[in-house]
């Protein structure tokens, strides 16, 4: 996913921000969508929560081979 730089947001007096239209569209966020909020290394991260049904098959084709230590086989 590419980085979208959209400038600055203003926090309202009741601590709300508006997610820009370009970000909502890119992330598939619609009214009623759930998001998870994290604080990480001095940043606020907002991650859309996807229903499990929507996640079905998203790892299809992923290479699951990993090098293991001999005592872990």
As for how many domains the chain has, the answer is: 1
pTM of the predicted model as reported, rounded to 2 decimal places:
0.60
Domain-embedded: residue 39: yes
Give the C-alpha separation, 14 to 56, whole Å. Answer: 38
Q: What is the pLDDT of residue 1?
A: 60
17-23 long-range contacts, CB within 8 A, separation 24+: 19/46
Q: What is the pLDDT of residue 56?
A: 80
Domain that holds residue 39: 30-72
Interval 23-59: pLDDT, tens:
899 888 999 999 999 999 998 999 999 888 877 887 8
End-to-end CA distance of the chain: 35
Q: Retrieve residue 49's tokens.
A: 């929560």
Helix or strand or coil: residue 52?
helix
Domain-embedded: residue 25: no
Domain-embedded: residue 61: yes
């Amino acid at each position: 996913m590419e980085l979208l730089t959209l400038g600055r947001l203003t926090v309202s007096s009741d601590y709300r921000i508006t997610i820009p239209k370009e970000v909502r569209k890119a992330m598939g966020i619609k009214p009623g969508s759930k998001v998870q909020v994290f604080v990480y290394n001095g940043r606020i991260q907002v991650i859309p929560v996807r229903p499990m049904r929507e996640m079905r098959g998203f790892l299809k084709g992923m290479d699951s081979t990993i090098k293991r230590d001999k005592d872990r086989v």
